[in-house]
Amino acid sequence: MTKKLLMSAALLAGSSIFNVAAETEFEFRGNVELQGRLFTEDALFPLQNDEQFSLAFAPEFYWSWNNGDDAIEFVPSYRLDQHDDERTHGDIRELAWIHVGDDWETRIGIRRVFWGVTEFQHLVDVINQSDSVEDIDNEDKLGQPMINLSLVRDWGIIDFYVLPYFRERTFAGPEGRPSIPIIDTDNAFYQSSDEENHIDFAVRWAHSIDDYELAVSVFDGTSREPLLVPTNPIDPNTTLTPLYIQITQVGIELQANIEDSLWKLEMIHNQNDIEDYWALQGGIEYSQYGVFDSNADLGWLVEYGWDERGEDSPSNFQNDIFFGNRLALNDVDSTEILFGLSYDLDFDSTNVLLEASRRFGNSVKVSLDMRLFESDDFNDPIYLFRRDDHLQITAQYFF
């Protein structure tokens, strides 16, 4: 992100604080994290290692005044990685002024916004860029500069977004793992001549009616998902350069709470100058409460992901079926376990994940994550991760 942008955001926050210092309430919290990854197979690329440790720090600052109608949130983050220079990085996740009116709200600055209802893939989530050096599941997001106006009406909540600056996707470097080390992030190029200064726009309407939740969104601007273009198509050892094209995407989210089941659907139509396409992710989560004569709840998940582009899609989930279980013990330590398996019907490949977490006291949380990849088809997007099965252990201290 440019120094000019960061300076503008800091001046906005700073001037607001000084103007209301006498009546401001202040909160400070955050966490320190130690993380280790252990890989079960030798690396596919020569500079990669079989273990990877990192240390992260994520403080959160919160100021509020005017009886809580005005607030500033500041959430920076920094990670120091043992091997990967690209994963050693900092970001401003949030630095925004928020004002609440009677039936409206404004949010100006750097923020994170999440859209979506499904478990294994979020097709409609297009506001923030993925911070892929954190994890390849694209759940971690970079802070996005924005002006957001939210209107609350009887017929729903409508959000308008102006996005004046674009963030390029991060990728792990040659020593990072799991990664695709042949990506040349230093020479990314754009369809728009405005490049990262292109102004994007989005609008989203969301409404709840009894047990149903519906949202419709439109995004117009630079695609957050880059196309990876070979620098020299005839060279088998060529690097891949990210290309960011202009898109107009319409998204639909639907969630229905029917008895003990949540029915979920995300569907998009993406219009661009290369190839228009439809894609969807949908399924069901059925919950059993008080299993094993205990306080525990067990969820059963089934989803299907489809992309009209088929095997030409850069997505990992162009024709995939997903199965999973979510176990919440509902104990004082908030113990949770999520197991998931995806099977690619085109490439006959599998992707297994396990996520488990538990608190120890009021300040410590330990998480265990496992990823397994099985692919024998060179055209499969996860083929390059076929040796990257790993176990990840994360310990966080909250203050």
pLDDT digits 0-9 by tens, 300-333: 999 999 999 999 998 999 999 999 999 999 999 9
How confident is the model over 87-108, as a mean pLDDT? 98
3-state helix, strand, coil in the chain (%, to 5): 10, 55, 35
pLDDT at 226: 97
Work out whether strand 25-39 and strand 89-100 pair parallel, antiparallel, or are unpaired: unpaired
- The mean pLDDT value for 361-371 works out to 98
Q: Looking at the predicted structure, is the pLDDT value of residue 178 above 80?
A: yes
Alpha carbon distance 61, 42 (integer Å): 42
For residue 237, the model assigns a pLDDT of 76
Please give the average per-residue pLDDT across 237-265, as a whole number.
97
What is the structure's pLDDT at 19? 52
Give the pLDDT confidence score for residue 198 in this predicted structure: 98
Buried b (16+ CB within 10 A) or exposed e, 82-103: bbbebbbbebbbbbbbbebeee
Question: Average pLDDT over the chain, rounded to whole?
Answer: 94
Phi and psi at residue 41, to the nearest 5°:
-130, 160
CA-closest candidate to residue 224, choices 338, 113, 337: 113
What's residue 9's pLDDT?
A: 56
pLDDT at 231 over 90: no
Better pLDDT: 265 or 7: 265
Cα separation of 93 and 131, whole Å?
Answer: 10
Taking the C-alpha atoms of residue 124 and residue 280, their distance in angstroms, rounded to an integer, is: 9
pLDDT at 187 > cutoff 60: yes
Q: How confident is the model at residue 18 (pLDDT cuts 50, 70, 90)?
A: very low
Of the two residues 7 and 378, the one the predictor is more confident about is 378
Model confidence at 16: pLDDT above 90: no
Residue 134: which residues within 8 A CB-CB, separation 6 or more?
Answer: 79, 87, 140, 170
Count how many domains the chain has.
Answer: 1
User: Which of the four pLDDT bands, split at 50, 70 and 90, describes residue 23?
Assistant: confident
- Using pLDDT thresholds of 50, 70 and 90, give the confidence band for residue 15: very low
Give the CATH number for residue 88.
2.40.160.10
Mean pLDDT of 199-228: 98
What percent of the chain shows pLDDT beyond 90? 89
For the chain, give the percent of residues with pLDDT over 70: 94
Q: Over 90: is that where the pLDDT of 100 sits?
A: yes
From the CB of residue 137, how many other CB atoms can be counted at a distance below 10 Å? Answer: 16
pLDDT, position 276: 98
Task: Please give the pLDDT value at position 12.
Answer: 47
Q: Which of 5-14, 292-301, 346-355 has the lowest mean pLDDT?
A: 5-14
- Give the mean model confidence (pLDDT) for residues 26-48: 96
Residue with tokens 């990685």, as numbered in its chain? 81
- Residue-wise pLDDT for 123-159, tens only, equals 999 999 999 999 999 999 999 999 999 999 999 999 9
Domain coverage including residue 222:
3-398
Q: Is the pLDDT of residue 61 over 80?
A: yes
pLDDT at position 377:
95
What would the mean pLDDT of 243-264 be, rounded to a whole number?
98
- Range of lowest pLDDT (12-21, 54-63, 64-73, 322-331): 12-21
CB 143 within 8 A of CB 92: yes
**What is the pLDDT confidence band of residue 3, given thresholds at 50, 70 and 90?**
low
